[in-house]
Amino acid sequence: MALRCSCRWPWSAWPRTRPSFARNTPSLCQQFSTQEINPQICVVGSGPAGFYTAQHVLKHHAKAHVDIYERQPVPFGLVRFGVAPDHPEVKTARSPRCAFRGNVAVGSDVTVAELREAYHAVVLSYGAEDHQTLGVQGEQLPGVLSARAFVGWYNGLPENQALAPDLSCDTAVILGQGNVALDVARILLTPIEHLEKTDITEAALEALRQSQVKTVWIVGRRGPLQVAFTIKELREMIQLPGTRPLLDPADFLGLQDRIKEVPRPRKRLTELLLQTATGQPGADHRARAPRAWGLRFFRSPQQVLPSPDGQRAAGVRLAVTRLEGTGEAARAVPTGDVEDLPCGLVLSSLGYRSRPIDPSVPFDPKLGIIPNTEGRVVDAPGLYCSGWVKRGPTGVIATTMTDSFLTGQTLLQDLKAGLLPSGPRPGYAAIQALLGSRGVRPVSFSDWEKLDAEEVSRGQSVGKPREKLVDPQEMLRLLGH
């Protein structure tokens, strides 16, 4: 089993191949090279969307210069871990026509209007940093956490370092059945000696060393045919040493016939679930495994139950549901029955959500995205978006890559069509002056490389690939800022 802390998304999996539209556009480069323009492009956010948009623009416009602004002092967004120096995003950052401007929060340190004034085009790629709330009574109780914060905690995101999850309970319940839910379950149940070899933070490792959690329930409103996780993540759970699966064969009745009609990836996933649910646990040495994980289907959270003193979460009241309709579109409706599931830790994993960045930028609060047409922000010429803030928080890095190349392509088309400002723009020179006057000290890519070297060196001394720096103040101190 490849253990990577949350780093299921190996950077080695960052796709290096191009979708066909990108392969078909090299002529753009020639077309632009004949024009006397040096477009100054600003990208907000240094996750996959930001880097892939920058990569596309730089590759297809020989004179473009891209500045990537990032709120954190470190680049790479949700995937800053395990990056190898020969990967495309690092090449992009090292291009003389690209600069990383870390430690700059757009919306507070500098406004989007100021960026639009300074650059020919601004691309918003700032991801989805909020989470969907449960919206049930008891959600505020200690012991209820968002999976997003929990992931941030063990991955070293500065804002989540004070989380201090209480892992002294026997049972944890995760609400939601997507890949993030399985990531969290896996981290809670992975033998500590495996985690010790990953780049999980030392503080998280220590807390997990003391953890008493033996059982993790992963709860979904709908059935096995509607789970949102993928087969790779399920396989990792099934193969997790020292654990056994808890699946109720009754949830799978009649499924054998129905899976014939479903698309192939879902069919393979359901077959694996079915096989796991109906396997002979007695024949499996893992039947005696000390830890367990279970999938609880057809259950919707109704209330987080308080402990007798009312001071913390002690369980979840679940409404039993049944499905109306079939397949992906099936809706869960309550049957009227409820079930209480005792636990000491509740992790809500119902999805991520983007936030509005700045009052000047249109935002769709219902969909939680920036309204756009093919990456062009509506009613805002010269403003673009890519990644999760463009299409919502779904899909893997490959999806984000395709979508970001499309935004890059849209931007270049507009540039070619004369839809962007034609005169020179000051780019970073203007923003640098503004940031200086506001006391903001940006972090460059070579600064990041120093931090990276420090992390790797600290990791080596404890047998880990790296020991992440988790305090932005310490990072800035190390850089002499």
- Residue closer to ligand FAD by CB (options 220, 387) is 387
Phi, psi of 301 (to 5 degrees): -65, 130
Which position among 49, 238, 240, 406 is part of the footprint of ligand FAD (CB under 6 A)?
A: 49
Rounded to 10 deg, the angle between the 147-155 and 202-210 helix axes is: 120
Residues 119-158 that bind ligand FAD (CB under 6 A): 125-127, 129, 151
The structure tokens 């989007």 sit at 112
Name the minimum Å distance from CB 446 to ligand FAD.
18
Q: Say if strands 376-377 and 372-373 run parallel, antiparallel, or are unpaired.
A: antiparallel
Rounded to 10 deg, the angle between the 179-189 and 231-238 helix axes is: 20
Which helix (H) or strand (E) is 270 found in, with range? Answer: helix 264-278
Of 65-73, 238-246, 277-285, 308-316, the window that binds ligand FAD (rule: CB under 6 A) is: 65-73
Enter the tokens of residue 473: 């103040």
- Residue closer to ligand FAD by CB (options 229, 252) is 229
The structure tokens 């600069």 sit at 99
Which position among 67, 70, 236, 452 is part of the footprint of ligand FAD (CB under 6 A)?
A: 70
Closest residue to bound ligand FAD by CB: 47
Of 40-48, 253-261, 263-271, 372-380, the window that binds ligand FAD (rule: CB under 6 A) is: 40-48
Which position among 272, 330, 333, 396 is part of the footprint of ligand FAD (CB under 6 A)?
A: 396
Residues 94-113 that bind ligand FAD (CB under 6 A): 105-107
- The candidate with the shortest Cα–Cα distance to 154, out of 186, 187, 118, 177, is 187
Which position among 112, 357, 361, 470 is part of the footprint of ligand FAD (CB under 6 A)?
A: 357
Dist CA 139 CA 162 (whole Å): 19
- Residue closer to ligand FAD by CB (options 315, 351) is 351
Contact predicate 101/119, CB 8 Å: no
First to last CA, the chain: 41
Dist CA 468 CA 240 (whole Å): 25
Which position among 50, 245, 294, 375 is part of the footprint of ligand FAD (CB under 6 A)?
A: 50
Of 163-171, 207-215, 341-349, 396-404, the window that binds ligand FAD (rule: CB under 6 A) is: 396-404
* Site residues (vs ligand FAD, CB under 6 A): 6, 8-9, 44-50, 69-72, 77-79, 105-107, 125-127, 129, 151, 180, 183, 352, 357, 387-388, 395-397, 400
